């Protein structure tokens, strides 16, 4: 407080000048119509710009809540779509037999927020804000609104970590949408926008712009989930397989919300397949 008083004493002439200046401006504005109109127009413009900035700031910080709401709504819509498809298939099958609806329809989508995500490492991972208490388990698929994103690898009570599609340790069973030829999508560690499609022989009809989707062979991912489009392809003398570069639909640089996919029959199917593999040995 003493320093403040000392500062005012030292600047007393400047303070008096400032007060007189403001008083003079007030007199000019109050007793001159032209200056008053200029002041009012300028002040209104300033206040308008201030309100506009305030509204833009409020909207920006409100985007987080809006994105979360949209993600929840998208998950609910996906669940509804798969449910209706199951009902339609069940109704069609009743006319011929009593077969239970195909298990590939038995999926549930859970919305989750991305709280950590890397794209610059050799092996990338995605951390999500949903864990065991939300029903998340290892091997569940993770997708964005555009396409594949990863596979859940580890979980805690409140969080889970997924192996990103930008990780060469995982291969996504995929196929061409136009002709069903199957291969694997794997990241080559070069560019977060692209991945390679493997195991496609040179006789297969491939064209730039062809759409790649999931096969459904990975329990965590239903068939038909978008993967990407063919960016380039070429034949090599050293291999009978095509070198196919795929532009991924998911933009991992701006990944903020995803869907975790719960395949209800995963344990039963995996257990049966493991038992067959064990008996063959």
Report residue 177 as tokens.
Answer: 């949408």
* Domain that residue 155 falls in: 102-265
CA-closest candidate to residue 187, choices 252, 143, 256: 252
Residue 85: its pLDDT value, please?
Answer: 61
Q: Per the domain annotation, does 93 fall within a domain?
A: no
**Contact in structure between 227 and 147 (CB atoms under 8 Å):** yes
Tens digit of each residue's pLDDT (9 = 90 or more) over 218-250: 878 888 999 999 999 998 878 899 999 999 999
Is residue 81 a part of any domain in this protein? no
Give the span between the Cα atoms of 126 and 263, in whole angstroms.
20
Q: Of 9-18, 53-62, 114-123, 218-227, which has the strongest mean pLDDT?
A: 114-123
The CATH code of the domain that includes 191 is 2.40.10.340
Residue 31 confidence (pLDDT) above 70: no
pLDDT digits (tens, 9 = 90+) for 46-88: 545 555 565 555 555 555 555 666 666 676 666 666 666 665 6
DSSP letter, residue 180 = -
96-106 residue pLDDT tens: 544 444 444 57
pLDDT tier at 268, thresholds 50, 70, 90: confident
CA angle, residues 196, 154, 121, in degrees to nearest 5 = 40
Query: For tokens 């701006």, what's the residue?
Result: 254
Contacts of 103 (CB under 8 A, 6+ apart): 263, 264, 265, 269
**Residue-level pLDDT at 236:** 80
| Cα 259 from Cα 250, distance rounded (Å) | 13
At residue 219, the pLDDT reads: 76
Contact criterion met (CB below 8 Å) for 112 and 261: no
Largest CA distance in the chain: 102
User: Is residue 66 a part of any domain in this protein?
Assistant: no
Q: Over pLDDT 90: what percentage of the chain?
A: 48
Report yes or no on 226 lying in a domain.
Answer: yes
Token pair belonging to 68: 């979360």
Burial level of 179, CB count in 10 A (0-12/13-18/19+)?
Answer: exposed
CA 67 to chain centre: 10
CA distances, 32 to each of 35, 192, 253 (Å) = 6, 65, 58
pLDDT of res. 98? 42
Q: Is the pLDDT of residue 119 over 90?
A: yes
Q: Is the per-residue pLDDT at 175 higher than 70?
A: yes
Number of domains in the chain: 1
Q: Is residue 220 part of a domain?
A: yes
**Residue 70, in any domain of the structure:** no
Is residue 218 within 8 A of residue 204, CB to CB? The reply is no
Confirm whether 88 is domain-assigned: no
- 108 belongs to a structural domain: yes
Q: Please determine, for residue 254, whether its predicted confidence score (pLDDT) is greater than 60.
A: yes
CB burial readout 228-258, b (16+ within 10 A) else e = bebeebeeeeeeebbbbbbbbbbebeebebb
């Amino acid at each position: 407080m003493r320093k403040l008083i000392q500062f005012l004493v030292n600047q007393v002439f400047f303070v008096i000048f400032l007060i007189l200046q403001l008083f003079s401006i007030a007199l000019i504005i109050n007793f001159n119509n032209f200056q008053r109109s200029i002041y009012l127009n300028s002040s209104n413009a300033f206040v308008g710009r201030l309100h506009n900035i305030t509204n833009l700031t409020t909207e920006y910080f409100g985007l987080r809540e809006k994105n979360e709401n949209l993600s929840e709504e998208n998950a609910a819509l996906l669940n509804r779509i798969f449910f209706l498809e199951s009902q339609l298939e069940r109704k069609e099958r009743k006319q011929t037999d009593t077969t239970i609806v195909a298990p590939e329809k038995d999926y549930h989508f859970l919305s989750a927020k991305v709280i950590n995500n890397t794209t610059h490492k050799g092996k990338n991972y995605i951390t999500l804000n949903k864990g065991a208490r939300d029903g998340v388990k290892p091997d569940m698929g993770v997708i964005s609104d555009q396409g594949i994103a990863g596979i859940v690898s580890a979980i805690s009570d409140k969080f889970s970590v997924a192996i990103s599609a930008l990780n060469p340790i995982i291969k996504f069973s995929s196929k061409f949408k136009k002709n069903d030829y199957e291969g694997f999508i794997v990241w080559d560690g070069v560019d977060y926008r692209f991945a390679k499609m493997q195991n496609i022989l040179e006789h297969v009809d491939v064209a730039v712009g062809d759409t790649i989707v999931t096969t459904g062979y990975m329990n965590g991912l239903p068939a038909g989930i978008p993967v990407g489009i063919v960016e380039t392809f070429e034949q090599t003398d050293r291999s009978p397989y095509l070198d196919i570069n795929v532009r991924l639909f998911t933009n991992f640089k701006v990944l903020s919300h995803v869907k975790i996919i719960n395949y209800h029959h995963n344990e039963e199917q995996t257990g049966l397949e493991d038992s067959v593999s064990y008996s063959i040995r």
